[in-house]
């Protein structure tokens, strides 16, 4: 399994108890959709390693306590701390019409209602107060808020994101003196 075929599910936190359990933090909208998962991939030494789940108990919010098969001591649990958790993109829950996953925006061409084609989405940034995507426009990285008032249309199958940028947003990035 390659990392490009997967999505980030969350992170392993601290050990929990004395039997090798760990806490995990989900980086998804609805952790309850993952309550019954049987395995995950952990990124270890830049490789995805499969781990089978013996038990998983949600702890409110986006946290859970997990017991992985074969991890039976606090020392083994320590080795997993701060590890990224991944699942294959084929495991993503189905979306309703008009919805999209943020990672689907990467590589899409951004077209502004007034400025025309800006460039391709380079990355999506999850800031605590605002989701953004970056696009290179005229040699400058422009950060575009992901919001209903700005994103008019997303056609991931065609690789297009139509936006209506707020007046002056591009000028902030281009008018450097």
**37-46, 48-57, 61-70, 120-129: least confident range:** 120-129
pLDDT of the residue at 128? 64
pLDDT class of 176 with cuts at 50, 70, 90 = low
Q: Are residues 42 and 87 in the same domain?
A: yes
pLDDT over threshold 60, residue 36:
yes
pLDDT over threshold 60, residue 38:
yes
Pick the last residue of a domain from 40, 61, 91. 91
Q: Are residues 22 and 69 in the same domain?
A: yes
What stretches of the chain adopt beta strand conformation (E)?
6-16, 21-26, 39-44, 47-58, 63-68, 84-88, 109-112, 116-126, 131-137, 140-145, 151-155, 160-163
d(CA 69, CA 45): 20
pLDDT class of 3 with cuts at 50, 70, 90 = confident
Q: Are residues 70 and 117 in the same domain?
A: no
pLDDT of the residue at 111? 96
Q: Which residue has the tokens 């007046």?
A: 167
Evaluate whether residue 37 is within a structural domain.
yes
pLDDT over threshold 70, residue 35:
yes
Residue 55's CATH number: 2.40.30.60
Residue 143's CATH number: 2.30.30.240
The tens digit of pLDDT for each residue in 133-152 reads 999 998 899 999 999 899 99
The tens digit of pLDDT for each residue in 88-110 reads 988 887 888 878 888 889 899 99
Q: Are residues 106 and 77 in the same domain?
A: no
Residue 119 belongs to domain spanning: 102-174
Evaluate whether residue 170 is within a structural domain.
yes
pLDDT of the residue at 99? 82
CA dist 145 → 24, 61, 78, 104 (Å): 28, 25, 37, 16
Handedness of CA 14, 17, 18, 19 (dihedral sign): negative
The answer to whether residues 135 and 116 touch, using CB atoms and an 8 Å cutoff, is no
Q: What is the pTM of this model?
A: 0.69
């Amino acid at each position: 399994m390659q990392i490009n075929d997967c999505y980030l599910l969350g992170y392993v936190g601290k050990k929990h108890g004395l039997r090798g359990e760990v806490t995990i933090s989900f980086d998804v909208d609805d952790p309850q959709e993952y309550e019954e998962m049987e395995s995950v991939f952990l990124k270890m030494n830049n490789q995805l390693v499969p781990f089978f789940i013996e038990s998983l108990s949600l702890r409110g919010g986006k946290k859970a306590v997990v017991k992985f098969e074969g991890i039976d001591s606090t020392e083994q649990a320590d080795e997993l701390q701060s590890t990224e958790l991944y699942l294959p993109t084929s495991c993503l829950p189905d979306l309703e019409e008009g919805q999209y996953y943020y990672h689907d925006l990467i590589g899409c061409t951004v077209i502004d209602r007034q400025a025309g084609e800006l460039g391709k989405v380079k990355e999506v940034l999850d800031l605590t107060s605002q989701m953004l995507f970056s696009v290179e426009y005229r040699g400058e990285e422009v950060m575009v808020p992901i919001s209903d008032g700005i994103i008019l249309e997303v056609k991931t199958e065609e690789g297009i994101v139509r936006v209506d940028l707020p007046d002056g947003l591009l000028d902030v990035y281009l008018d450097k003196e």
